[in-house]
Amino acid sequence: MTAKKALLFINGVPPARLPDADTFDVVACSDGAFDYLKSAGFNFSKLNFVSGDFDSQAAQEEVAALSAEYGFEILPTPDQDKTDFCKALEILAAKDCTEVSVYGGSGGEMDHFLGNLTVASQFQKDINITFFLEYARYFFAAHHTVLDTEPGQMISLYPFPEAINVVSTGLEWPLFGEDLNLTSRIGTRNRAVDKQVEVSYHHGSLIIFVAHPAARDILTEL
């Protein structure tokens, strides 16, 4: 099995800038993200598939017309007990994708954002999922993670719901084996003091938010 990298667009806040699709093995979108990709002038010849429940006839016809023109697959996923994000990840897992970059996974309605985190947590053993925002990226961390950073870059450690025996170096406020818990102690809005940050934890689940270096001044003011 050859591991593959995937790019996935889902129906959250559209990215301000579209990533380079040529750097991925598989490019996909949910039916909800299809409209903003079309509005942004996305090159649909780069798309491998679009999935979703396609709950309107007009949407079905538009997607079918572009599929005929550009050759991407249409994969209906009518199961209403799962989100479009979950169903898209299942398809990508079946295509041997072990790294997925997600755009449109945040912003807007907060229940949508939290639901996406819950879905991502269910796949974290098999797929490395990274969400990208305009100012940051975030992901479920492995038990030992090394980040290339710049001094002053904002880093947040967020337990989901807990991370036990967390150790961090290269941060302004390091951790020395403390436990983080969603209801008692979290580790948000820390800052890198070195060119490398290391984070490890014994067990549990930990999300790391990494601000883009260029966004340092903007985020510091928030």
Interval 43-55: pLDDT, tens: 999 999 999 988 7
Q: Which CATH code is given to the segment(s) 140-220? A: 2.60.120.320
100-151 confidence digits (pLDDT tens):
999 999 866 788 899 999 999 999 999 999 999 989 999 999 999 999 999 9
Tokens of 63: 């997607």
Three-state SS at 217: helix
Segment 1-47, tens digit of pLDDT: 678 999 999 998 999 899 999 999 999 999 989 999 999 999 999 99
Which tokens sit at 39?
Answer: 């509005």
How far is 81 from 1, CA to CA, in rounded Å?
A: 30
Q: How far apart are CA 89 and CA 101, in angstroms?
A: 11
Integer Cα distance of 52 and 35 in angstroms = 13
Q: What is the rounded average pLDDT for all residues in the chain?
A: 92
CATH class of this structure's domain 4-134: alpha beta
Domain boundaries, the chain: 4-134, 140-220
Collect contacts of 112-115 with beta carbons under 8 A, ≥24 apart. Answer: 112/12, 113/12, 115/83, 115/85
Is residue 156 very low, low, confident or very high in pLDDT (cuts 50, 70, 90)?
A: very high
Instruction: Tell whether the model's pLDDT for residue 58 goes beyond 70.
Output: no
pLDDT tens profile 190-221 = 999 999 999 999 999 999 999 998 765 544 54
H-helix or E-strand spanning residue 203: strand 203-211
